[in-house]
Amino acid sequence: MKKAIIFMAVIALFALAAQTMMAQDADMSFFLTSKGPGDGANLGGLEGADAHCTALAEAAGVTGKTWRAYLSTTGSGGVNAKDRIGTGPWHNANGVQVASSVADLHSDNNKLSKENSISEKGGMINGRGDDPNRHDILTGTQMDGTAASGSDDTTCSNWTSNGEGSAFVGHHDRQGGGANPTSWNQAHGSRGCSQQDLIGTGGDGYFYCFVTN
């Protein structure tokens, strides 16, 4: 009888833990993709990138939310990444608030880090020193959240190129090389836009996803 009571108590504790985890997952409003589409920086444009965010979130059990990729585009009709993602606050899969607002996200106060910029599944993404390194995160965005001006390609042809071009990338682990090695959204430009080019400089075609509200 005592063994049965203990067994039932253990089952109840596991059920409670599962419910708590599901509640945290349901509140998730920010994640770093656990994988890219696999075609370099050709994400199918902003629409394709947004759809990838949604598909990953729903596969992780988070449904009924509007997800937007943190990506800028340039040229006629260009879009700033910071204008796509709503107003915040945003929480990761563990319930940690990474930023309270757009201004907070683009300040030194944000909580983005290797430990907090986790995937939709709650997993940590490889950073500098890990094998393989995947800390180069596609953004096409300057540190203030805006798209770059000028004629240089900073978005791999607005996320349609898997060959020629380049894109701004950030370091989710806030370390490494480049002009701004500790920047989560503009550390340096990518070597190119192919999958191999992204992998070759420490990335894999990953990007940030936010819930709009």
pLDDT, tens digit, 9 for 90 and up, residues 77-98: 999 999 999 999 999 999 999 9
Taking residues 95-121, report their average pLDDT: 98
Taking residues 39-58, report their average pLDDT: 98
Under 8 Å between Cβ of 110 and 170: no
Under 8 Å between Cβ of 134 and 205: no
Provide the CATH topology of domain 28-211. Answer: Mannose-Binding Protein A; Chain A (3.10.100)
Residue 7, pLDDT score? 42
Beta bridge partners of 188: 169
How does pLDDT run across 15-40, given as a tens digit for each residue?
A: 434 443 443 467 999 999 999 999 99
Taking residues 130-147, report their average pLDDT: 98
How does pLDDT run across 58-79, given as a tens digit for each residue?
A: 999 999 999 999 999 999 999 9
pLDDT at 9 over 70: no
How does pLDDT run across 172-200, given as a tens digit for each residue?
A: 999 999 999 999 999 999 999 999 999 99
Question: Which of 173, 165, 159 lies closest to 127, judged by CA?
Answer: 173
Under 8 Å between Cβ of 64 and 184: no
- Stated pTM of the model: 0.89
Q: Residue 64: count other Cβ atoms within 10 Å of its Cβ.
A: 7
Q: What angle do CA 191, 196, 200 make, to 5 degrees?
A: 55
CA distances from 40 to 3, 70, 89, 213 (A): 55, 16, 30, 29
Q: Where are the alpha helices (DSSP H) in the chain?
A: 2-26, 45-59, 102-105, 156-159, 195-200
Taking residues 102-115, report their average pLDDT: 98
Cα dihedral angle (36, 39, 40, 44), rounded to 10 degrees? -80
Residue 19, pLDDT score? 40
State how far the Cα of 142 lies from the Cα of 185, in Å rounded to an integer. 7
> Looking at this protein, which amino acid is placed at residue 171?
H
State how far the Cα of 207 lies from the Cα of 66, in Å rounded to an integer. 16
Segments making up each domain of the chain, as ranges: 28-211
Residue 26, pLDDT score? 75
How does pLDDT run across 139-178, given as a tens digit for each residue?
A: 999 999 999 999 999 999 999 999 999 999 999 999 999 9
Residue 11, pLDDT score? 47
